[in-house]
Structure 1
Amino acid sequence: MSNIDFTTSANPEALATEVACLKATLTLLLKAIGQADAGKVIINLERFAAQIDDPAQAEIFKNSILQIKHAYRQ
């Protein structure tokens, strides 16, 4: 995997699209692993968000988790 190039564009719009793609990918992965395991992953993500020192970064992380949870429940 070290030969794969995962560079991200400096363009904020391209970066935003990549983040949205990652959120969708995570949601689909959670749906694939089953309800019990997905619940554990979400709980661990919420615990991690609670430990973030920077309030602005923590809020962004929490909002992302909420978006993923909402998409997962659909």
Structure 2
Amino acid sequence: MSNVDFTTSADPQALATEVACLKATLTLILKAIGQADAGKVIINLERLAAQVDDPAQAEIFKNSIQQIKHAYRQ
């Protein structure tokens, strides 16, 4: 992992595309690990979102989790 370059463009569109890719990747990982474990991960993500101090960041986090949950259920 230390040789892998994870640099990201400063372009907002590129960042948005990367985030969408990460959401899709997480959804596929959740589907692969099984329903019980995926449920635990989602619950832990929701707990983490509740602990975010900045209301704007918390809302973005919650919306992302909702999108992932919706995609997972399909």
CA distance in 2 between partners of 1:35 and 1:68 (Å) = 14
Report sequence identity in percent: 91
DSSP 3-state at the match of 2:26: helix
CA distance in 2 between partners of 1:53 and 1:40 (Å) = 23
* Count of residues paired in the alignment: 74
Deviation for aligned residue 1:34: 0.2
Q: Deviations over 1:16-48 (max 9, x none)?
A: 000000000000000000000000000000000
2:73 equivalent to 1:73? yes
TM-score normalized with structure 2 length: 0.99
Runs of 4+ in 1 over 3 A off after TM superposition: none
CA distance in 2 between partners of 1:65 and 1:41 (Å) = 11
TM-score normalized with structure 1 length: 0.99
Across the aligned residues of Structure 1 and Structure 2, the Cα RMSD in angstroms comes to: 0.2
1:47 is matched with which residue?
47
Deviation for aligned residue 1:6: 0.2
Deviation for aligned residue 1:11: 0.4
1:6 is matched with which residue?
6
